[in-house]
Amino acid sequence: MNALETVERLKQRFPNEPEYIQAVSQVLGTIEEEYNRHPEFDRANLIERLCIPDRIISFRVTWVDDKGNVQTNMGYRVQHNNAIGPYKGGIRFHASVNPSILKFLAFEQTFKNSLTTLPMGGAKGGSDFSPRGKSNAEVMRFCQAFMNELFRHIGPDEDVPAGDIGVGGREVGYMFGQYKKLTHTFVGVLTGKGQEFGGSLIRPEATGYGNVYFLENMLKTRSIDLKGKRVLVSGSGNVAQYTVEKLILLGAVPVTLSDSDGYIYDPDGIDAEKLAYVKELKNVERGRIREYAEEYGVKYVAGARPWGEKADIALPSATQNEIDGDDARTLVANGVFAVSEGANMPSTPEAIKVFQEAGLLYAPGKAANAGGVAVSGLEMSQNSERLRWSSEEVDAKLHSIMNEIHADCVKYGTQTDGYVNYVRGANVAGFLKVAKAMMAQGIV
């Protein structure tokens, strides 16, 4: 397999899907050497079968807004690969959603789920509907209309969606209720559910907590203590909130948060009281992060991201491609020595190259943010057993999974000079498990 040639063929077949091509390019470039150690993979054309999704489902979603106007959106589900378990991956409601973004996310999800050691395949779905500015009633009607089609393609042993950008507990609840009504069943078909109807403790915290656990593992390889370190965090949703929460608990000093309008910089650090304000602002009032600056009298920069501020560590937790090459060079110049991704593919290829050439500790999202889907997998286990585990039990399992992922990254990513290339380590570890399962199951 020649990675460049394979990517070029995919570009010709899918010319209008830049995010998908970017994700495939990043993975193939790092697994090429390992892939070519297994000639049986090439004889089975494994790489093409692994890059192209099993199926892409698209459908119209028609709903009625509060003014009685009929609205139409597109809905999608990309079921990428189920070699090691049922399809598993989030649903995203955002105006930017399109097949290219969902294909990239589903492709990445396949390897991320493999890294967790749990039996889950890869998928992703969503709609170009945005909950922002919509009433609860409008969000409910949209979620019900979305599920009216999606329910045909999912199930506890077939495909188990979860939340993502724009899809939190509210949206998952509405979708679960409609699935239950349509199928006359009460099964663990969605994860991220409420505690009252099958949700797992620690699931809301899992992605953020898991990223910080992974960061701790990285820092230990250089005998660095997280306590007292100043940390740039982007985003202000679920992932960012619980990233900040765990940082505070471990004695670090988170100094930024952001949303699509801009970012805040709090030189004194975001403490537990300020974080409680952010949770109320974002989760209940659905407000904007600039209101934090107004409340606490700190710096707010409109239309920008926080990567120009000085700190020790950066944890991008918002969305894809939020750190470009210039941002990366600024981070390095300002003394940042570790970057761990809470979002999916938030760093561009140029940014990753800058980080690695500078010798930074850099963890890609498929490894660092795998805690969210890991606890989703644990939620599936609890639903199957009709049991509910304690917070301590779930958190201990999450911590153990993140430690295992880090160990696999070190195993496959350590270079001859001792530098750990976490991108290569994560990609090779995730790839090998899926590839071996596909080979064992034949050409299907």
pLDDT at 109: 94
pLDDT at 271: 97
Over pLDDT 70: what percentage of the chain?
A: 100
112 is in an annotated binding site: yes
pLDDT at 114: 96
**Which residue from 161, 140, 143, 150 is spatially nearest to 183, judged by alpha carbons?**
150
**Which residue from 227, 294, 237 is spatially nearest to 266, judged by alpha carbons?**
294
Per residue in 409-436, pLDDT (tens digit) is 999 999 999 999 999 999 999 999 999 9
Per residue in 207-242, pLDDT (tens digit) is 999 999 999 999 999 999 999 999 999 999 999 999
221 is in an annotated binding site: no
pTM score of the predicted model: 0.89
All domains of the chain in start order, with CATH: 1-52+424-443 (1.10.285), 53-183 (3.40.50.10860), 205-367 (3.40.50.720)
109 is in an annotated binding site: yes
User: Angle, nearest 10°, between helix axes 169-183 and 136-150?
Assistant: 50
Is the pLDDT reported for residue 71 higher than 90?
yes
366 is in an annotated binding site: no
pLDDT at 277: 97
Residue pair 101/320 in contact (Cβ under 8 Å)? The answer is yes
- What integer is the mean pLDDT of 279-299? 95
Catalytic: which of 103, 124, 274, 366?
A: 124
Q: Is 310 a catalytic residue?
A: no
Alpha-carbon span 308 to 310, nearest angstrom? 7
Residue pair 168/207 in contact (Cβ under 8 Å)? The answer is no
Positive or negative, the CA dihedral 318, 320, 326, 331 is: positive
- What integer is the mean pLDDT of 276-296? 95
pLDDT at 320: 85
Alpha-carbon span 263 to 229, nearest angstrom? 20
pLDDT at 246: 98
Cross-strand bridge partners of residue 89: 161
> In the structure, what pLDDT confidence band is assigned to residue 344 with cuts at 50, 70 and 90?
confident
Element containing residue 363 per DSSP (H, E): strand 361-363
Residue pair 74/61 in contact (Cβ under 8 Å)? The answer is yes
DSSP readout, 221-232?
Answer: TTT---TT-EEE
Over pLDDT 90: what percentage of the chain?
A: 96
434-444: string of b/e by CB count within 10 Å (b at 16+)?
A: bbebbbeeeee
**Which residue from 379, 320, 371 is spatially nearest to 349, judged by alpha carbons?**
320
Is the pLDDT reported for residue 309 higher than 90?
yes
Is the pLDDT reported for residue 100 higher than 90?
yes
103 is in an annotated binding site: no
Per residue in 32-60, pLDDT (tens digit) is 999 999 999 999 999 999 999 999 999 99
pLDDT at 319: 87
Per residue in 150-184, pLDDT (tens digit) is 999 999 999 999 999 899 999 999 999 999 999 99
